[in-house]
Structure 1
């Protein structure tokens, strides 16, 4: 199994092994125990895009063999769209799709701006130095998830505590306990919304044919999909900009560049590093003979740096065209909440850089603690300071 570890001193780049493999063999069969299904690693952009769009590659976890576990994955939790195929996926996604339109998400810009301003006010009041993850990158999307799900104001402090623990993979036991408690809370919240609906997405869904357990599962899915990813993009994206001062200065001095900056950071960082698909029937991909029952591991970060698609792909350039990047996936499983994530980043990055124009790392870059490169990638903390 090639290493997914980022290169030493370059925390934003894919592993050298993945980069080399993409150039030599964009689809490669991996070694697996005798009798195990075939496992393939795909690193090339065009092949990854084809897999995402082809229903012969299943998203159901139980179709996927994990080579490190030497076992198939367990089925997805109830409500987890990333682990479903049609028709179950189609049924639930249709219920949600109308809630995440570009127009509706853009309407949230004013509220995102208010939340962002409040967090920056608190950062300024506390003064430097601070951990940007705890002070800004996590609270902004956490507050917006509270708005989306209709978490009552007097419960938001407890809710924030649960989400912080769930995001902390330093303590797996505490993380699992927090995840269990959060699931219970969301099921209770779904029941409360059914009995007394308010103006939020979860209340809207109580009018559907989803069961209470499905409602709780969908809420947990929205939380996991919309919080950890955006929080890590805000933190790791800020880290990347601080390490590329010319790009940071360009964005700070010209906020109109923010749309391009967000898309380029999404492409360049590809924090949802990998994905998996189960092969449902024999298929040829890139000249490789895949068999029904095989598993495909998708290296999204390598695909988003493919020079066959993007010129000078390892260069962070907020003015480049990033059309077609795969940071949010592609096809029927493309990220449902991508527009909300974009709104949050488009507001947060310029606001942070404008409020603290002298923002800089408070520790040497090599001392910034990084997260597991094959999960949602990011930083565990980002110590920053300013004048």
Structure 2
């Protein structure tokens, strides 16, 4: 049987709230201002953004972080991160240490647990009636359950570390962001000491077995994993379901063609509004004929890259069966997110089971009335009222 068309148009999405300083061109380098008013360069276009992810002349750190341009107050992705002198070595070490715990093989082994957690949450949602807030019923608790089990974090601590991660990602309130990060670090330090005394079968315990990793190293890795390990999935599950329900034809197509789910998840990741990623020039360099001085900010325009018509036919169209190109939402090359297999697995479990069990799922409110997260740089929804 020939699969039904699984496409529908999507609205244009902004790359970043920036204001041009000089004349811009479709793909290349444009001079912009960030939401904090700082000058930066915006790199756009699929091939340029991919190349810059791998360019070692760009990094996350800055030699004088207090004077560096910022995109917001958030500790994570608001401005410089890491030590300038050791960034490249630190990045390589972190990837070497963390990647095995989130490999495709490891995630396949963990998949039955994720599917079971998803099923239990959906069962509970069904038991409460024929409507729910999908954000609080599934999109939020599923990634929290998963990351707690993977890292060995007590699930009863979820409300505390969730509050700290949200605070540390606040784009408007610097004091709140710093306080959230400090509390999260203190928590991860205590957790590290606990795992050294009473190890379990979890990632934090295994990190304690790695030679030459200090408690401070493990606590910092724990912070990164607690934040990135659940926040991205919370956002993408909610946004992905919203995108599908805004286009009922796609939801019905996914219900009738469950084999589309893995491909559909990647298409939703491509089509979503992606935040531009900040980088800093580690030295003077030239990008697309533009001189970039050492220390200047370069924003990697993920949204532009994921909607480049030279790579993606009709890029503003959500095509669940799309086979061309590969999105850069998780980065690229040496800067590819090691947690990508986990995020994909969670999205596939959530969206796949929802589409299978709720063929009549619809929004209870107009799409424009869905509450959005305005204070945290990752965005997403804060409620998602649905009925079936």
Instruction: Determine if the TM-score, normalized by the shorter chain, exceeds 0.5.
Output: yes
CA distance in 1: counterparts of 2:176 and 2:141, whole angstroms: 20
1:374 and 1:49, CA in 2 relative to 1: closer, same or farther beyond 3 A?
farther
CA distance in 2: counterparts of 1:179 and 1:338, whole angstroms: 23
Assess if the C-alpha contact under 8 Å between 2:311 and 2:324 holds in 1: no
1:25 and 1:347, CA in 2 relative to 1: closer, same or farther beyond 3 A?
closer
1:136 and 1:84, CA in 2 relative to 1: closer, same or farther beyond 3 A?
farther
Match of 2:125 in 1: 123
Match of 2:13 in 1: 13
Return the offset for 1:225. Answer: 0.8
CA distance in 1: counterparts of 2:112 and 2:62, whole angstroms: 38
Q: Deviations over 1:359-380 (max 9, x none)?
A: 1111111111123498213112
Match of 1:226 in 2: 229
Match of 1:48 in 2: 49
1:165 and 1:85, CA in 2 relative to 1: closer, same or farther beyond 3 A?
closer
Higher alpha-carbon deviation: 322-331 or 175-184? 175-184
Which residues in structure 2 correspond to 1:151-166 (within 5 Å)?
151=153, 155-164=154-163, 166=165
Match of 2:319 in 1: 317
CA distance in 2: counterparts of 1:299 and 1:179, whole angstroms: 26
Gaps spanning 5+ residues in structure 1: where? 1-9
Return the offset for 1:14. Answer: 2.7
1:55 and 1:200, CA in 2 relative to 1: closer, same or farther beyond 3 A?
same
Size of the alignment, in residue pairs? 366
Assess if the C-alpha contact under 8 Å between 1:37 and 1:293 holds in 2: no
1:277 and 1:312, CA in 2 relative to 1: closer, same or farther beyond 3 A?
same
Which residues in structure 2 correspond to 1:300-315 (within 5 Å)?
300-315=302-317
CA distance in 2: counterparts of 1:165 and 1:234, whole angstroms: 21
CA distance in 2: counterparts of 1:184 and 1:17, whole angstroms: 33
Q: Deviations over 1:308-341 (max 9, x none)?
A: 2111000000101253210100122211110111
Return the offset for 1:73. Answer: 7.3
Gaps spanning 5+ residues in structure 2: where? 1-9
CA distance in 2: counterparts of 1:232 and 1:323, whole angstroms: 23
Match of 1:269 in 2: 272
Match of 1:329 in 2: 331
The secondary structure found in structure 2 opposite 1:277 is strand
- Alignment RMSD, CA only? 3.3
CA distance in 1: counterparts of 2:16 and 2:57, whole angstroms: 30
1:180 and 1:322, CA in 2 relative to 1: closer, same or farther beyond 3 A?
farther
Assess if the C-alpha contact under 8 Å between 2:29 and 2:288 holds in 1: yes
CA distance in 1: counterparts of 2:354 and 2:135, whole angstroms: 13
Return the offset for 1:84. Answer: 7.4
CA distance in 2: counterparts of 1:218 and 1:366, whole angstroms: 37
Which residues in structure 2 correspond to 1:72-83 (within 5 Å)?
76=81
1:69 and 1:104, CA in 2 relative to 1: closer, same or farther beyond 3 A?
closer
The secondary structure found in structure 1 opposite 2:331 is coil
The secondary structure found in structure 1 opposite 2:298 is strand
CA distance in 2: counterparts of 1:66 and 1:319, whole angstroms: 40
1:270 and 1:31, CA in 2 relative to 1: closer, same or farther beyond 3 A?
closer
Assess if the C-alpha contact under 8 Å between 2:107 and 2:345 holds in 1: yes
1:234 and 1:37, CA in 2 relative to 1: closer, same or farther beyond 3 A?
closer
Match of 2:198 in 1: 196
Assess if the C-alpha contact under 8 Å between 2:99 and 2:338 holds in 1: yes
Return the offset for 1:184. Answer: 2.3
CA distance in 2: counterparts of 1:98 and 1:298, whole angstroms: 27
Q: Does 1:58 align with 2:59?
A: yes
Higher alpha-carbon deviation: 159-168 or 90-99? 159-168
CA distance in 2: counterparts of 1:73 and 1:383, whole angstroms: 30
TM-score, length basis structure 2 = 0.84
Assess if the C-alpha contact under 8 Å between 1:183 and 1:220 holds in 2: yes
Query: Among residues 182, 189, 210, which one is paired with 1:187 in the alignment?
Result: 189
Match of 1:3 in 2: none
CA distance in 2: counterparts of 1:304 and 1:104, whole angstroms: 28
Assess if the C-alpha contact under 8 Å between 1:31 and 1:39 holds in 2: yes
